[in-house]
A and B are shown apart, each in its own frame.
Chain A
Amino acid sequence: MAFLEIKNLFVDLKNFKLKNINLKIDKKDYVTIIGPTGSGKSILLETIAGFYKPTKGKILIEQLDISNLPPEKRCISIVYQDFALFPNMNVYENIAYGLKKKEKNSRIIKEEVEKIAEDVGITNLLNRIPNTLSGGEKQRVAIARALVTKPKILLMDEPFSALDVRTKDSLRDLIENIVKKYETTVIHVTHDLDDVFRLANKTIIMKDGEIVQNGYVNEVFSKPLNDFVANFVGANVLKGEIIGKKDGYTLIKIGRFVIRSIDNANVGSKVKVYIRPEEIILSNDLEDSIVCSVEKIKRFNNILWIKLSNDCFTLNAIVTPNITEKRISIGNKIFIKFDPSKVRILEGNGC
C-alpha cells in the first residue's frame, strides 16, 4: 500500500494547469521533484499541502482522501527557499508554534523544542530574532519548526537554493541524518542534481504541468523514458541507426562509428542513444575506440567535466583526473569507449 497516493490530479490556475498527476510514494521515501522552471513543481507541492484546490482527482494518505481537507488538517509541513520564519517571534517561539496547537503542557513543549534544536544544531540560537540569523541558521530553524510536529510528510521547495555551497553541503548532511532519525517521508523540489544523488531514493521529472517520468533514481537516470528526460538528467543523446545484432548486442551506427548496446531495437530503425557522461571510458588503445578531441575542460572538486567532439558528434564526459589528467588538455586527441550495458536505446519514436 502506498503511503501517499495521487490519482488523476488536475489543478487549474487559469494561465497554468497541472495535468493528470499520478504518483505513489511509500513511507520513508525521499522523493525529489526536478524539472525546468515554470513546470509546476511548486504548485504540485502546494497542492499536496492544500493551498490549491484540485479541479479533479484525489490525494490519499494511508488510503484516506485528504483532497478536501484544509491545510491545517493535513499534518504536512513545508519548508521554503526563503525560510518564511515568523518575524514577530523568536527562534524558540517559531519552533514551538506548531506544537502549541496540539500540546498545552509547556514543559513538554520546551523539551521537544530543545530536543529538535539540538538535533539541528541551533541550541544557542533559541532566544534570537529571525532577522538576526544567517541564511543557513534560518533554514535550520525552518527545518526544526517543520519537523517538531512529526508531520506525515515533509515538503521542501528548493530549501538550499538561497544558500552558499558550503552551507548547502552541511544542510544536506543535516537533512539526510534528521530525516532518517525522524523516519520522515520527504518530497523535495530542487534544481540541483546533487540533491537527487545524495538524498533521494526516488525522483519525479516534470514538464509543463505533467510528470514525464517517475521512479527510483538509478532507474530514471539510467533509463530515461524520452529525450527530454535524458537531456534534463544531463546525458548525451546521439542519433543513430540500428544496423544489426551480434553476440547478443545491438549494433548502432553513429556517423562512421559503430557502438554496441545491450538494449534491443529493430534492425533498420533510426534511434536515439543515451549515454551518461560519467559512463564514458577513456581508453589507451585504438582498438574499438572512438577518437575525439578535447574542446573544453571544467574542473570541480575531484572531477573533470570535459567536452569532446569529432566529425560526427559532441559529448560531455565526467572523469576523475588522477588516472587520466596527463592526456587531457584542450586540443588533445583522446580515445573513448562505451560499456554496452550503459549505452541505452531510447524507447518510443526516438527520431
Chain B
Amino acid sequence: MQITFRNFCIFITLLFATIFFGLIISLFIIPSFTAILNSLQAKEMMYSLELSLITSAVSTIAVLTLAIPIGYALSRFSFFGKNFLKSILDLPIAFPELVLGLCLLVFFGQTFVGKVLNVLGIKIVFTKLGIIVAQVFTALPYSTRILCSTFESINPRIELVSRSLGYTEFETFRNITLPIAKEGILATTIISFARCMGAFGAVLVLAGGSYMYTETLPITIYLSLSYGNMDMAITSGIVLVIISFAAIYMFEKVDRGRTWHF
C-alpha cells in the first residue's frame, strides 16, 4: 500500500480507535466476574448509583429549564453584550472542573450571597444539593450550545408567520418552535445526563465527596482507589462506561443526520 496522506490519516484514526477500545475493554477483563458482582451488590455501590441517578436526573431537568431560554435568547434576539454573555457561558467548557468547583465553593461558602442562602436554609456546600449545583454548572455550557444551534437552524420566518396568524411570542414558541426543536432537546437531555453522571471535579470540591453521603459514582472511584478497593473502583467505572455508551448510542439515534456546531 502506498503511503499517502490519506492512508496516513486513516492509519492514525484506526490506531487511536484501537487503543481507545482496548482501554475500555481492559476495564472489563481485569477483575473477576464474581468480584464485580460482589461490588455491584455492596451497599456503597447501591448508594452511589442511586444518588448519581437521582442527582443527575434532577440536574438534567434544571439544565434544560435554564438552557432552553438561554439557547433561544442567544439564537434569536440581539441585545447589548450578547457576545460577551456568550463567552461567559462558554467559559466552563475550557475551565478545569476543579477550578469551577473552587469558584462555586468560594461563592456559596464565603460570599454574601452564599451566606444569605445559608441563613435561608439553602445549604449548598458539602451537601447533596451541592452535587446538583456542581453538575448543573458542569453540564450547562454544552446544553446551551446544542440548543442554541438547534434554534438557529429553525427558520425564524416560521415563527413570524405564526405570530401573524394571531399567536403571541410564547404561544408561538410552545406550538411551533419547541415541537420543531424536539430532537435537539432530546439530544441535549441525553448529553446533559451523561455529563452529570460523570461530573467529578466540581462535585468533589463543592459537595465534599464524603463516604455514603455525597458519594456519586465518580466519587466512588476516587474513594475506592484511595483506600485500595480496586474491584469497587473498576465496577463503578464499568457502570459509568455502560451509561455513557447507552447515552452516546441514543444520541446518535436522535442525531441522525443532524450536525451540531460546537
Contact = CB atoms under 8 A, between A and B. Distances in A.
Given A87-B180, A88-B179, A82 B157 contact: yes
Contacts of A70: 163, 168-169
B165 A77 contact: yes
Contacts of B212: none
Nearest to B182: A88
A92 interface: no
A4 to B, nearest CB: 15
A145 interface: yes
18 contacts: A70-B163, A72-B163, A72-B164, A72-B166, A72-B168, A74-B164, A76-B164, A78-B161, A80-B157, A80-B161, A82-B155, A86-B158, A86-B162, A86-B180, A97-B165, A98-B165, A145-B165, A149-B166
B19 to A, nearest CB: 42
Interface in B140-180: 155, 157-158, 160-169, 175-176, 179-180
Contacts of A50: 163-164
Interface string A299-338: 0000000000000000000000000000000000000000
A131 to B, nearest CB: 12
A46 B160 CA distance: 9
A182 interface: no
Q: What 3 A-B pairs have minimum CB-CB distances, sorted nearest first?
A: A98-B165, A101-B166, A71-B163
A71 B164 contact: yes
Interface string A217-243: 000000000000000000000000000
A64 interface: no
Contact of A84 (B157, B166, B168): B157
Contact of B165 (A80, A87, A149): A149
Contacts of B158: 84-87
Interface string B131-144: 00000000000000
Contacts of A78: 160-161, 164
Interface residues of A, number: 24
A72 B176 CA distance: 15
Contacts of A101: 165-167
Given A80-B161, A98-B166, 6 more contacts: A72-B168, A82-B155, A84-B157, A87-B180, A101-B166, A145-B161
Contacts of B169: 70
Tell me the dominant secondary structure on chain A's binding face.
mixed
Nearest to B172: A72
Which range contains the number of B residues in contact with the other chain? 10 to 19
A133 B164 CA distance: 23
A78 B169 CA distance: 16
Contacts of B164: 49-50, 71-72, 74, 76-78
A51 B180 CA distance: 21
Contacts of A97: 162, 165, 175
A181 interface: no
Q: Which of B162, B164, B168, B176 has the most CB of A within 10 A?
A: B164
A71 B160 contact: yes
B245 to A, nearest CB: 31
Interface string A11-44: 0000000000000000000000000000000000
B77 to A, nearest CB: 13
B160 A51 contact: yes
A256 interface: no
A41 B161 CA distance: 18
B162 A49 contact: no
Contacts of B162: 86, 97
A118 B163 CA distance: 25
Contacts of A102: 166
A143 B179 CA distance: 23
Q: Which of B158, B165, B166, B167 has the most CB of A within 10 A?
A: B165
Contacts of A74: 164
Nearest to A155: B164
Contacts of B165: 72, 77, 97-98, 101, 145, 149
A88 B180 contact: yes
A88 B158 CA distance: 11
Interface in B74-121: none
A163 B165 CA distance: 24
A96 B157 CA distance: 18
Nearest to A79: B161
Contacts of A98: 165-166
Q: Which of A50, A51, A70 has the most CB of B within 10 A?
A: A51
Interface in B172-220: 175-176, 179-180
Contacts of A51: 160, 163
B123 to A, nearest CB: 43
A87 B169 CA distance: 18
Interface in A53-78: 70-72, 74, 76-78
B166 A88 contact: no
A31 B167 CA distance: 27
Given A70-B168, A82-B155, A88 B161 contact: no
Contact of B155 (A46, A76, A84): A84
Interface in A258-312: none
